[in-house]
Amino acid sequence: MPAVVHRSWQSGQFLAPAPVYLDASVTVGWLLSGDQLHARATSFVGDHLAAGRELQVSLLGVDETIFRLLRGLVASATGARPRAIQLGRELKKNPKLLSTFLPNIRQAIGYLTSWATLVDGAGATPHQILDSWLDRCGDVGGLHDAYHLGLAQYAGSKSFATGDADYKGLATLPTPLQIIQL
């Protein structure tokens, strides 16, 4: 059996082996009604919750989720397009932006962590996670993508759910992992 199996997911067709690691494309897709993955991400999460499957999010995934929420909130407040927002620059110019939107962020992350298990490589040393992260940099093109895979490996995840196509070139991992493409 190959260490990585790629599957395209459709609601009602199959359930991913659990625990299922979710990257930010899934969490953001669930939270944002305007996201192109909204219906798909929502049904993916709902199907697996209804079936009692464990869904995992990492602090890295939470960080990316907050980043995109915050960028969208700032864009909405300023009337700009989200893509036009340089969030780091905006936060430096107006340090109160973060605290202004913090209640929204807290609420969203509270909802998320009410049904998802928060993981961060428990059982592994930071050096083990770092080694895995750097090893994965040879498999996928994105620095964050590689970190997600390193965390999933040590979180005991059986599946990795994502809306990003960046993982399609991934051929092998030290542990069996199914890449579920939403």
Q: Which spans of this chain sit near another protein (rule: CB under 8 A)? A: 7-8, 10-17, 24-25, 28, 30-36, 38-40, 42-43, 45-47, 49-52, 64, 67-69, 71-73, 75-76, 82-83, 86-87, 104, 107-108, 110-115, 142-145, 163-164, 166
Residues β-bridged to residue 106: none
Q: CB of residue 79 vs another protein: minimum separation in angstroms?
A: 11
Q: Taking the complex as a whole, how short is the minimal distance between the CB of residue 129 and another protein, in angstroms?
A: 17
Q: Is 72 or 121 the residue whose CB approaches another protein more closely?
A: 72
Q: Are 144 and 64 in contact (CB under 8 A)?
A: yes
Give 69 or 129: the residue with its C-beta nearer to another protein: 69
CA distance 127 to 20: 24
Least distance to another protein, CB of residue 168, Å: 14
Nearer residue to another protein within complex by CB, 50 or 93 = 50
124 versus 144: smaller Cβ distance to another protein: 144
Nearer to another protein, 59 or 125 (CB): 59
Please tell me whether the peptide bond between 19 and the residue prior to it is cis, using omega within 30 degrees of 0: yes
Q: How far is the CB of 46 from another protein (least distance, A)?
A: 4
Q: What angle do CA 54, 150, 157 make, to 5 degrees?
A: 20
CB of 59 to another protein, least distance (A): 14
The two most distant CA atoms of the chain are separated, in Å, by 53
- Exposure pattern of 13-50 as b/e (b: 16+ CB <10 Å)? eebbebbbbbbbbbbbbbbbeebebeebbbbbbebbee
